[in-house]
Amino acid sequence: MLSVEHIIALQNIPALGKTAVPRLCALAAGADVGSCAALHALIVQSASSPAAARLPLSAVENALALAERIASDAARRGIGILTLQDAAFPASLLYAMNASGRTDPSPLLYYRGSLDALFMPGVAVVGTRNPTPEGWEDGAYYGAALAEAGCNVTGGLALGCDAQAHRGALSRRGVTTAFLAHGLDMVYPREHLALARAIVENGGLLLSEHPAGVRPSPRNFVARNRLQVALARATLVIQAGAKGGTMHTGNMTLAAHKPLFCVRYDAPSEPATCLGNAMLVRAGGRYVERRHGEADILRAILP
């Protein structure tokens, strides 16, 4: 069995790639890979690429040294580390799909909060950072309604619809999870620091695939959307423009063959803000009304 440090190290060896980590963990089950030399031998002997087969021992030594610093820093900051070898780890994250439709697993997560949230049926509630007044209301409504029904409301802690869904869930003392696109030593945007604290204090989770010290970047925001989709049983789009992160999330949901719902706006105050809703429905999503659509969502995700 591989240690947490081993898994962090494997993630930091470019020659391997993310898809190699779950495979190496399976090969290491029941084996003695306690030493750096043993880990190096496992990598080389099971190499699936020429670069991995030629990997020098020094590369593994450097990766392990980095991993030990990352794990130690996380412990000092009170950040937990969850790996695919833990019972609470959601297996669905190993089949996460990126925007290109390729499997892009996440075998390790950093977290703050209660892992109990991971055992609840999740619904990703997402949308534009600049919703109309209707979208602002509907984000909170659906966050509250789904949380009250026993769902884990997941989002990205972003401005606009995502934050409103988190707030709605908290208003019903429900559980909500935020996937962040940076290390858990910070909160972005900064004005959501109190919201992040409330999520943790009320039994929810902050999750990231990045260690402390990693800052937000456009690439990280797109990548984290796949994790929201992988963890959730369905996605609800409050409002989406024709382009942007919400459209990525919606298309990832369809690619993963999971239910995708979009709020219907017959006469929105700003039509451009809802163009993505109609586009996603044409691509395979389903409309729900502005109120009481949670019944349709629950029927789709609950036994």
Whether 101 has a pLDDT exceeding 90, the answer reads no
Q: How confident is the model at residue 259 (pLDDT cuts 50, 70, 90)?
A: very high
pLDDT over 90 at 296, yes or no: yes
* Nearest CA among 2, 298, 288 for reference residue 150: 298
* Lookup: tokens for 27: 């090969």
Name the band, by pLDDT with cuts 50, 70 and 90, for residue 20.
confident
User: For residue 47, what pLDDT is reported?
Assistant: 82
| Across 169-179, average pLDDT | 98
176 beta partners: 153
- The helix-helix angle for 36-45 and 20-28 (nearest 10°) equals 110
The predicted pLDDT at position 27 comes to: 87
Q: What is the mean pLDDT of residues 232-243?
A: 97
Q: Where do we find the tokens 């496992």?
A: 42
Q: Cα separations (Å) of 234 from 11, 75, 87, 244, 269? A: 28, 33, 23, 19, 27
Span 163-179, mean pLDDT? 98
**pLDDT(268) > 90:** no
For the chain, the structural domain boundaries read 1-77, 112-301
For 112-144, write each residue's pLDDT tens digit.
999 999 999 999 999 999 999 999 999 999 999
Predicted confidence (pLDDT) at residue 270 exceeds the cutoff of 90: no
Q: How confident is the model at residue 51, as a pLDDT?
A: 86
d(CA 236, CA 253): 10
Q: Is the pLDDT of residue 18 over 80?
A: no
Cα–Cα distance measured from residue 24 to residue 65, given in angstroms and rounded to the nearest whole number: 19
Predicted model pTM: 0.95
Mean pLDDT of 10-19: 87
Write down the mean pLDDT value for the chain.
94
Residue tagged 């590369």 (tokens):
59
Contact 297, 261 (CB under 8 A): yes
Mean pLDDT of the region 17-25 = 86
Q: Summarize pLDDT for 63-91 with one digit per residue, the tens.
A: 999 999 999 999 999 999 999 999 999 99
In this structure, which amino acid lies at residue 297? I
Tokens representing residue 282 in the block: 């044409």
The count of C-alpha atoms lying within 13 angstroms of the C-alpha of 109, restricted to the half-sphere facing its C-beta, is: 30
Q: So what's the pLDDT on residue 49?
A: 85
pLDDT at 34: 82
Residue at token pair 């429900």: 174
pLDDT tens digit string along 31-54? Answer: 778 889 999 998 998 888 888 889
Whether omega for the bond prior to residue 107 falls within 30 degrees of 0, making it cis, is: no
Quote the CA–CA distance of 20 and 25 in Å, as a whole number.
Answer: 9
CA–CA distance, 219 with 151 (Å, rounded to integer) = 29
- The residue among 140, 263, 275 whose CA lies nearest residue 195 is 140
**Nearest Cα residue to 230 out of 166, 284, 177, 278:** 177
Residue 249 has pLDDT above 80, yes or no: yes
pLDDT at residue 98, as a whole number: 84
Write down the pLDDT at residue 130. 95
Q: What is the pLDDT of residue 19?
A: 82
Q: Please work out, in degrees rounded to the nearest 5, the angle formed at the alpha carbon of residue 236 by the alpha carbons of 216 and 186.
A: 20
pLDDT of residue 30 exceeding 90: no
Can you tell me the distance from the alpha carbon of 255 to that of 97, in angstroms, rounded to the nearest whole number?
Answer: 8
What is 112-301's CATH number?
3.40.50.450
d(CA 151, CA 96): 20
